[in-house]
Amino acid sequence: MSFQVINPATGETVKEIPVWDDATVEAALSQVAEATPGWTNTPIAERCDLMRKAAQVLRDNKDRYAQIITTEMGKLINDARAEVEKCALVCDYYADNGAEFLKDESLASDASHSFVAYLPMGTVLAVMPWNFPFWQVFRFAAPALVAGNTGLLKHASNVPESALAIEEVFRLAGFPTGVFRTLMIRASQVQKVIEDPRVHAVTLTGSEPAGRQVAATAGANIKKSVLELGGSDAFIVLEDADLDEAAKVAVASRYLNTGQSCIAAKRFIVVDAIAEDFVARFKAGAEALQPGDPMNEATTLAPMARNDLRDELHQQVTDSIAAGAEAITGCQPGEGGGAYYLPSILDRVEPGMRAYGEELFGPVAIVIRARDEHDAIRIANDSPYGLGGSIWTRDTQRGERLARQMQSGATFINGLVKSDPRLPFGGVKNSGYGRELSRLGIHEFVNAKTIWIK
């Protein structure tokens, strides 16, 4: 049994990597368990220095790692390079700020001295997706390792070379053997790893069903978990918005990474007064995208990661059109080989259609008409998801007022929703719980231990 690396631009199988048997998994778990006490007791300054070296390894090998990403899941090569650079940025961020984030916090009490010490939990298992195969891992690994935890990675089955390359980064940076290991295992093997007493916590970025399974296993074993699941982010355009800017960002937000992003704008909620003008601008921007070879720097729309994902997306689109949605552009697979889908817009989407209630994980935007700002917020919150969202208005005070009403982990006013190492990242409702990045992210996998002295 093996993992297959299939180039989504061509459909060609370029490599096969064996799946581990139980004995190999056991050896890796034992190695990490053996390394954990020493890493926990390594001074924070040394851990931060090694994380800076990891950032340098990423930059030194940026082109090679980017080619792995593009070959495995089809990301545009320039975007793949940017992803590797962003991983280096998060490594630098925690190397620079980790000691401050983890320093003891004095608290007044009846003791002579009382404080909270932020101490590592042990070993954290990460179950990660394919859509940002380096970034999703490093935004967990950088804070977790700086905090003194060891790490285990179970990556998506279609990006095995990325998984092995990430382990290589930490090895080349000089991290002690066993501090970070990639497990070449199937999804069916994850439950046993979570249940293992040598694993102390788990984090997952992925689908809602996968999150429910991981959370159930972690809960049954009384282990901390963090979940970052699906999203159906609202992009609210009000009547006083800068429509040219909103449409330009709408194209970037919906079609970046071929629409395969949890925080991509997916539901474009537009007030009636300017809906026709906005949709016309949005359509022009979408139709200007050029599908092609993701290794070609002139290409602006890459293939989807797999044929089955493209086919599932197309079924959601055709079902929604049959239910009354209006196809504005695209709404068809691309011609020729590869997992291509045309940049698409569905207008006049309404409750009851698949496109209204489900996450469309690909290059399809849906437009929902709203009467006014109150109706727009109602529609935005009429979703089982709550990851990100944006509001477009020239009145920033109005935007802030409405942002507080939006049920999401983040709301951006007049800007592209994105993750930033300096800002907390995570969702509410079925988009998950817990936070990554920033000070909050490094505190997710530590023991906030009270120490009382008389």
Which one is catalytic: 262, 373, 436, 444? 262
- Helix axis angle for 396-403 and 373-381, nearest 10°, is 30
In angstroms, the CA 219 to CA 226 distance is: 11
Residue pair 144/151 in contact by the 8 Å Cβ criterion: yes
Give residue 208's region: left, alpha or beta (phi > 0; psi -120 to 50).
alpha
Helix H segments across 299-451?
A: 307-322, 354-357, 373-381, 396-403, 438-443
Which one is catalytic: 228, 373, 436, 444? 228
Residue type, 171: R
Residue pair 452/111 in contact by the 8 Å Cβ criterion: yes
Residue pair 352/333 in contact by the 8 Å Cβ criterion: no
Helix (H) or strand (E) holding 391: strand 389-392
Please say if 262 is a catalytic residue: yes
In angstroms, the CA 383 to CA 379 distance is: 8
Give the alpha-carbon dihedral of 212, 218, 219, 225, to 10 degrees: -80
Q: What is residue 436's three-state secondary structure?
A: strand
Residue pair 332/367 in contact by the 8 Å Cβ criterion: no
Token pair recorded at residue 184 = 């070449």
Residue type, 300: T
β partners of residue 453: 113
Question: What is the SS3 string spanning 290-313?
Answer: CECCCCCCCCCECCCCCHHHHHHH
Nearest to 72 by CA among 7, 14, 156, 13: 7
Q: What is residue 402's three-state secondary structure?
A: helix
Tell me the catalytic residues: 228, 262
